[in-house]
Amino acid sequence: MTDWLPLSRSRHGRDAERRSRPGLVAGLSRDPSTRLVIIDARGRVALRRIDSPARSAGPTPPAAPAGAGGTGDGDGAARRVPTEEDSPGWEPPAARASSGGPEGRRAPTPQEDRLPRITAADLDPQELEGLTTIYLGRTGRAEQEGRPRGGAPSEGTGQGSAAPQAAVEATGAQGSEGTSWLAVVVPAELEVPEAPAAPAGGRDAEGAGTRRPGLRRLLERYPLIPLRTVGAQMSARDAGLTTAAAALAAWHASSTYCPGCAGATRPVDAGWARRCTVCSTTHFPRTDPAVIVAATDEDDRLVMVHGATWPQGRYSVVAGYVEAGEPLEAAVVREVAEETGLEVSRVEYVASQPWPFPRSLMVGYRARLAPGGQRPRPDGEEVTEVLLVSRGELGAAVSRGSIILPGATSIGRALIEDWYGGPIPG
């Protein structure tokens, strides 16, 4: 099922057993055939630009499939699940690609490689010093086609030099086992905008803009783009690499001090852990589980909610964080009751999707409401409106613009379209 959720798809091996190898990241940083993913702690990744497909005309509701369930995407009770609207400057993507459903429906929107061919040869090793660099794993031999050899320029700046053969052999960087990938986290002080332009302040107090000219040039050529807005357009390879990179970049940025003794921490295990320099405790990345549910009534109408902080017309399905000591299924029942006043009688697992903004794991469900003609009641705090919509009503509302759906990258959109029976343009 992971093949139909944009940020769940992956084609690379994480190669976990290699992370503890001494000098792995340093050796790969000197190997000119190591591929780089440039990302920041806000979930923005350096990508090639592509033309977005044109928005299609309004949707035509399909015939209701027998026994179809509902789907959802909303907010939690104590703390809200991050959505596209929580990202500064977020705008609905021009292309609304269907994520398809477990029955095999999937979008016609092209999914392609968006990561530019940037290698370690494109950055002076001195520029990587002091930056958080993470080993993401390896892709297959097919990914090696066209890679630079002996320091030959790639799509990047081509400034680096060839790695000493001893370093390549020590790390087992490439060869028959495939291409190695590193994530390079852009420092916050670089003040990188979301467009190829000069930094806001010319240079920061530490002079990062002038100390890392190669990184600056790469970011001017390949601007940082929010992963949440383009994930549905990316290939499985790129989606898997960038989702892992985004999650780890956000975690490193918020984990520089030990929660036990307040000592400084440093990256270990190729960026997959941090160790306290005072008490030596090792800390690992944290993931917060959240449920998201497409709930339907006896007439197979979908429950949709409007969050209190969302723009006018934005609707999704119910979602919320799992509480301490709570089973996932119980969280589904609780969240639907808290946000809508409706009682759930049946819960069915569908699929899960990482949502690394900063560290959620969205666990998707279908649910059926208890019979008896229940009337929805929004909680008035997190949810201000609850709708029960048929497929025809939803299609018409999206066509005229009175309902705006979640972005194509989200599992909420995928669950809604699974219930609908196909893509919903708009």
99 lies in a domain?
A: yes
Three-class DSSP category at 345: strand
What pTM, to 2 d.p., does this model score? 0.79
Assess whether 129 and 248 both reside in one domain.
Answer: yes
Amino acid 154: pLDDT: 55
**Residues 48-76, mean pLDDT to the nearest whole number:** 42
The residue among 293 and 130 whose pLDDT is bigger is 293
Judged by DSSP in three states, 231 sits in: helix
Q: Is residue 185 domain-shared with residue 324, that is, in the same domain?
A: no
Q: Which of 24-33, 122-131, 324-333 bottoms out in mean pLDDT, i.e. has the lowest?
A: 122-131
Least confident of 133-137, 184-188, 201-205, 228-232: 201-205
Bridge partners (DSSP) of residue 185 are 39
Q: Tell me: the pLDDT tens digits for 350-381?
A: 999 999 999 999 999 999 999 988 899 999 99
Enter the tokens of residue 160.
Answer: 């680096």
End-to-end CA distance of the chain: 24
- Which two three-digit tokens encode residue 259? 């929660």
**Is 222 within a domain?**
yes
Long-range (24+ apart) CB contacts under 8 A made by 141-146 are 141/176, 141/178, 141/179, 143/35, 143/178, 143/179, 143/237, 144/33, 144/174, 144/178, 144/179, 146/117
Q: Is the pLDDT of residue 2 over 60?
A: yes
Are 193 and 302 in a shared domain? no
CB atoms closer than 10 angstroms to residue 266: 10
Tell me: do 132 and 210 sit in the same domain.
Answer: yes
Over the range 37-68, which residues count as b (16 or more CB within 10 Å of their CB) and which as e?
Answer: bbbbbbbbbbbeeeeeeeeeeebebeeebeeb
**For range 378-395, the mean pLDDT:** 97
In contact, 136 and 241? CB cutoff 8 Å: yes
Tens-place pLDDT, residues 313-323: 999 999 999 99
Q: Tell me what pLDDT residue 104 has.
A: 40
Position 155 scores a pLDDT of 62
Instruction: Quote the CA–CA distance of 376 and 369 in Å, as a whole number.
Output: 11
Burial state string for 76-101 with b = 16 or more CB within 10 A and e = fewer than 16: bbeebbbbbbebeeeebbebbbbbbb
Same domain, 212 and 323: no
State residue 195's pLDDT score.
43
For residue 311, the domain's CATH number is 3.90.79.10
Same structural domain, 96 and 121: no
Q: What is the mean pLDDT of residues 212-227?
A: 93
DSSP structural state of residue 96: -
Residue 77: inside a domain, yes or no?
no
* Residue 269 falls inside a structural domain: no
43 & 92 share domain: no
Query: Cα 375 vs. chain centroid, distance in angstroms?
Result: 35
Residues 344 and 202 in one domain: no
Domain span including residue 194: 2-51+112-253
Is residue 405 scored above 80 in pLDDT?
yes
Same structural domain, 159 and 13: yes
112: its two tokens: 């392609």
Residue identified by tokens 């080993």 is 135
Co-location of 105 and 117 in the same domain: no
State how far the Cα of 357 lies from the Cα of 80, in Å rounded to an integer: 12
Q: What is the pLDDT of residues 142-158, one digit of tens each?
A: 444 434 333 344 566 55
pLDDT at position 373 is 81
pLDDT at 417 over 50: yes
Bond before 423 cis per omega within 30 degrees: no
Asked if the structure places residue 320 within a domain, the reply is yes
Give the side-chain half-sphere CA count within 13 A for 359: 14
Quote the Cα angle for 161-167-170, to 5°.
Answer: 155
Q: Tell how far CA 362 is from the center of its chain.
A: 11
CA-CA distance, 243 to 250, in Å (whole number)? 11
Q: What is the pLDDT of residue 35?
A: 98
Helix (H) or strand (E) holding 352: strand 344-355
Query: Looking at the structure, do residues 27 and 162 belong to the same domain, yes or no?
Result: yes
pLDDT above 80 for 112: no
Helix (H, G, I), strand (E, B) or coil at 413: helix
Q: Is residue 76 part of a domain?
A: no
- Total domain count, the chain: 2
Domain assignment of residue 280, yes or no:
no
